[in-house]
Structure 1
Amino acid sequence: MILEVVILDVIPSREKEFESAFVEASSIIASMAGYASHQLQHCLEKQNRYLLLVQWETVEAHTVGFRGSNEYQEWKKRLHHFYDPFPAVEHYEMIFENPK
């Protein structure tokens, strides 16, 4: 499993509009092959910052499958105009997990 990590800085005063658009766009990413789960978290210290975490089966499911799809074009259309600056995307793999 691969974790996509993205820090999203939203144009100030557009946070609620972004959150609504994100909820509506969530079904797009959730429909993709190789998708496992995603969550959006809101930063407590910086009002316009969010953390997007997406679990993919492989890096290619995200970078080739999703980004190369028509669905990604719709995702872009709905969400990318909220970001300033445009976010960097990183991928992580699990090295250690401490189960309860």
Structure 2
Amino acid sequence: MIYEIAEITIHPGTNAAFEAAVGEAVPLFRRAKGCLSMRLDRTIERPDTYRLVIGWETLEHHTVDFRGSADFQAWRGLVGGFFAEPPKVEHTENAVSGF
């Protein structure tokens, strides 16, 4: 499994509306080819910063299939106006499983 981790900084004071918009977008990810999981975490020390963590079967399911889809455009339409700066996106894979 590949994890997409997007660090998203939003405009101050828009947390509730942003979180609601991400909740509205859940079905877009649920039906995306190769999408296995999705969650949004808020950073405690910087409450206007979030991490969107999405599990994909393969890197291409994110970078080709989802990013090339109408659902990606719908996702950006729902949340893009909240972004204070472009999201920083990285992909990870498990190196060591502890417990």
Q: TM-score range by the shorter chain?
A: over 0.9
When normalised by structure 2's length, the TM-score is: 0.96
Match of 2:93 in 1: 93
How big is the shift at 1:32? 0.5
Deviation at 1:56, TM superposition (A): 0.2
- Runs of 5+ in structure 2 lacking a partner? none
The answer for the alignment partner of 1:81 in structure 2 is: 81
Partner in structure 2 of residue 23 of structure 1? 23
Supply the AA of the counterpart residue of 1:65: D
Q: Distance in 1 between matches of 2:9 and 2:29?
A: 20
Structure 1: give runs of 5+ residues left out of the alignment. Answer: none
2:95 partner SS: coil
Cα-to-partner distance string for 1:71-90 (whole Å, 9 max, x where unaligned): 11111110111111111110
Identity %: 34
Q: Deviations over 1:7-52 (max 9, x none)?
A: 1101101111000011011110111010000111111111211111
Q: Separation in 1 of the partners of 2:25 and 2:32? A: 12
Q: How many residues align?
A: 99
RMSD (Å), alpha carbons: 0.8
Q: What is the correspondence of 1:1-100 to structure 2 with a 5 Å cutoff?
A: 1-99=1-99
